[in-house]
Amino acid sequence: LTLLGLETSCDETAAAVVRRTDDGQITVLSSIIGTQFEQHAPFGGVVPEIAARAHVEAIDAIAAEAMRAAGIGFDALDGVAATAGPGLVGGVMVGLAFGKAVALARNVPLVAVNHLEGHAVSARLGADIPYPFLLLLVSGGHCQLLEVAGVGACTRLGTTIDDAAGEAFDKIAKSLGLPYPGGPALEKLAATGDPSKFELPRALLGRKDCDFSFSGLKTAAARQAEKITDETSRADLAAAVQAAIARQLSERTDRAMKLYRDSHPGQALRFVVAGGVAANGAVKAALRKNCDDNGFSFDAPPLAYCTDNAAMIALAGAERLALGLVDDLDAVARPRWPLDEASALSHPSSS
């Protein structure tokens, strides 16, 4: 199956062509990402109205480029997959409408993909990772531990009770005076810092569940950042923040691994981290250690597929299409859409 994937849920306009053979071999034929970085940078964050307009202006050219780079014509497509949520609804509508137009004009099925399901399958773009696996999804808007048994088959073990991990990176980066998007900038600054120079709070210590909380860390870090005057301390605080986020992710993942192991006796134990924060070296190193300690294999998406891209949407679409899970042309854009509700029918029960 060869699918065109479209991603417009946040501040990247992306299109990709992915091929999946019947035996599950996956090839990314093209993956084009247009960022709106420059349009949003002056505001220090994503402005929804600017994003929606920029998607409208970019989508034609980005999709055409993805097709050209893949070296195939529209008649070679078996389907089109578009992100239908969750995200900024104005942007989601742009990609979904474009996908419907392609589906209608070319008479191919439409798959309305949950963006988080795209992140959930993204590591499979780089390695053959069989289902089921334990997933830590750490992105700009989400921080969740999930059991992934396949597309449309995710069970949530825990989630954040306040901020997402990426959001924590972004907000703390901002209070350190770093440019948007903050995660990569903070990682760069942290590389020269000493994490032991600052004491930061540990959230939800001793709790038996797999939930997360980053708001206390965010407040504490902002208070420390205000007092800082020299560049060395800035790097030290960045390193301490990164270590604190990595430690919490690791502590909750350790708990989830033990639960997962108990509920999958005798089965292969696989762990995957995905989403933008999966690009972070310190986070990955901490999670690798979890895997070593608990007997899990470790996988993360190739760097290019950690943050938003359309290849992961095309792949989720291909896996759905292979199962016969397609959507009608009246599929709606859903600003909210929990991953464990990403069932066969992407029609809203509530949103």
Interaction between residue 12 and Fe ion (CB under 5 A): no
For residues 269-328, which are near Mg ion according to CB under 5 A?
308
**Is 272 one of the annotated binding-site residues?**
no
* Ligand-binding site membership of 213 (annotated): no
Is 324 annotated as contributing to ligand binding?
no
- State yes or no: residue 213 binds ligand ATP (CB under 6 A): no
* DSSP SS3 for 187: helix
Residue type, 262: D
Helix (H, G, I), strand (E, B) or coil at 213: coil
270, 300, 308: which is closest to 118 by C-alpha?
A: 308
Instruction: Concatenate the DSSP letters of all residues of 132-144 into one string.
Output: PEEEEEE-SS-EE
Q: Is residue 337 within the footprint of ligand ATP (CB under 6 A)? A: no
Q: Interface with Fe ion includes 122 (CB under 5 A)?
A: no
Instruction: Mark residues 129-148: x for contact with ligand ATP by CB under 6 A, - for none.
Output: ----------xxxx------
DSSP category for residue 327: B
Residue in 5, 195, 275, 317 binding ligand ATP, rule: CB under 6 A: 275
Q: Are 141 and 154 in contact (CB under 8 A)?
A: no
Is 138 annotated for ligand binding?
A: yes
CA angle 144, 146, 151 (to 5 degrees): 120
Pick what 126 binds: Mg ion, Fe ion, ligand ATP, none; C-beta below 5 to 8 Å, kind-dependent.
Answer: none
Residues 126-185 that bind Fe ion (CB under 5 A): 139
Residue 152's binding partner, choosing from ligand ATP, Mg ion, Fe ion, none, with beta-carbon cut-off 5 to 8 A by kind?
Answer: none
Q: What is the CB neighbour count within 10 angstroms for residue 158?
A: 20
- The token pair at 144 is 């969740």
Please report whether residue 317 would count as binding ligand ATP according to CB under 6 A.
no
Footprint of ligand ATP on 163-182 (CB under 6 A): 166, 169-170, 181-182
* Least distance between ligand ATP and beta carbon 159 (Å): 11
> Is position 90 annotated in a ligand binding site?
no
| Residue 111, helix vs strand vs coil | strand
Q: Looking only at residues 50 through 109 of this chain, which bind ligand ATP when binding is defined by CB under 6 A?
A: 87
Sign of CA dihedral 55, 59, 61, 62: positive
**Is the sign of the CA dihedral 143, 149, 152, 158 positive or negative?**
negative
Interacting residue with Fe ion among 167, 187, 236, 308 (CB under 5 A): 308
242 lies in the site for Fe ion, by CB under 5 A: no
Give the Cα separation of 170 and 186 in Å (integer): 8
Residues that bind Mg ion (CB under 5 A): 10, 308
Q: Which residue ranges are tagged as binding site? A: 115, 119, 137-141, 170, 183, 187, 280, 308
Residues that bind Fe ion (CB under 5 A): 139, 308
